[in-house]
């Protein structure tokens, strides 16, 4: 009984500590800033509890995060770059807080990926511009880090959610492109056959837009084929069992 009372009091203390900054923000800050502060605090707590939420946000930030770039040397940092850092920091922080250690299981393609990164790094010796070479190396390093994160943190349920977010982003980009193509929305330089506009989505250029859809569409086809194959095998087993 005393232990239960202590736990209740302990929980109340933590609730008071959590509510105090919110109340202080409402008193001191203008309403707009107070709402932003409270929203940010809620988002931070949610990310600490469910760090895969940052991955979902990252998937959406890839097509839409380039609207507010930050120029750093020859590179433009976007929301996607920021969220990559958030995903990895939250993952490491949670491991340290929960396990008191950093334990990472390296997936099957780790060695080939490291070989590739090593080859990219060696190419610095013949690069015409080290800054541009470093920018591309960072992109591939981010991809490898996310590959390791996904392999360590996503089960089938979470992976299904990732696919839903990915396909939602892809469908929205495709819809924007169709609108641009049919209604001639875009700069004159993208005019095609004096009748249409080359779609560019939110990427400002047609080529990266096509590259993005070219990565999402094969994944969608692969999922459809896998689902159909699974349903067919289940149907065959059901028919065989009924005989």
* pLDDT, tens digit (0-9, with 9 covering 90-100), for 209-228: 999 999 999 999 999 998 88
Cβ atoms of 51 and 15 closer than 8 Å: no
Q: What's the burial of 38, exposed, middle or buried (CB within 10 Å: 0-12/13-18/19+)?
A: middle
Q: Is 53 exposed, middle or buried (0-12, 13-18, 19+ CB in 10 A)?
A: middle
Kindly indicate the confidence band of residue 15, based on its pLDDT and cuts at 50, 70 and 90: low
Question: Is residue 21 pLDDT above 60, yes or no?
Answer: yes
Domain boundaries of the chain, sorted by first residue:
7-49, 65-153, 155-243
Report residue 22's pLDDT band, with 50, 70 and 90 as the boundaries.
low
Rounded distance between C-alpha atoms, residue 80 and residue 64, angstroms: 9
Using CA atoms, how far apart are residues 121 and 117, in angstroms rounded to an integer?
Answer: 6
Kind and range of the H or E element at 138? helix 130-153
Helix (H, G, I), strand (E, B) or coil at 5: helix
In a 3-state reduction of DSSP, which class is residue 51? coil
* Exposed e or buried b per residue across 146-173, where buried means at least 16 C-beta atoms within 10 angstroms of its C-beta: eebbbeeeeeeeeeeebeebbbebbeeb
User: How crowded is residue 141: how many other Cβ atoms within 10 Å of its Cβ?
Assistant: 15
DSSP letter (8 states) at residue 78: -
Q: What share of the chain is helix, strand, coil (3-state, %, to 5)?
A: 80, 5, 15
| Residue keyed to tokens 């065989």 | 240
- C-alpha–C-alpha distance, residues 87 and 23, integer Å: 29
Residues above pLDDT 70, as percent of the chain: 80
Which residues are within 8 A (CB) of 33 and not within 5 positions of it... i.e. 6 or more apart? 25
Task: For the chain, state the CA radius of gyration.
Answer: 24
| 153-179 tens-digit pLDDT | 988 888 999 999 999 999 999 999 999
Q: What is the predicted pLDDT for the residue at 140?
A: 92
């Amino acid at each position: 009984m005393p232990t239960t009372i202590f736990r209740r009091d302990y929980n109340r203390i933590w609730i008071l500590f959590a509510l105090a900054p919110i109340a202080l923000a409402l008193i001191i800050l203008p309403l707009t800033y107070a709402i932003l502060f409270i929203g940010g605090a809620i988002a931070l707590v949610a990310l600490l509890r469910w760090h895969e939420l940052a991955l979902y946000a990252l998937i959406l930030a890839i097509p839409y995060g380039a609207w507010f770039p930050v120029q750093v040397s020859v590179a433009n940092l976007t929301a996607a770059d920021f969220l990559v850092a958030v995903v990895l920091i939250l993952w490491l922080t949670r491991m340290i807080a929960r396990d008191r250690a950093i334990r990472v299981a390296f997936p099957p393609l780790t060695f080939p990926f490291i070989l590739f990164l090593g080859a990219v790094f060696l190419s610095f010796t013949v690069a015409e511009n080290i800054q541009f070479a470093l920018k591309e190396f960072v992109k591939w390093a981010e991809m490898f880090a996310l590959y390791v994160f996904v392999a360590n943190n996503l089960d089938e349920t979470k992976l299904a959610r990732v696919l839903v977010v990915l396909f939602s982003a892809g469908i929205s980009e495709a819809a924007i492109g169709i609108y641009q193509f049919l209604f001639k929305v875009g700069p004159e330089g993208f005019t095609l056959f004096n009748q249409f506009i080359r779609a560019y989505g939110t990427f400002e250029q047609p080529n990266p837009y096509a590259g993005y859809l070219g990565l999402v569409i094969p994944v969608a086809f692969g999922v459809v084929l896998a689902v159909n194959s699974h349903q067919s095998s289940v149907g065959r087993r059901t028919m065989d069992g009924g005989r």
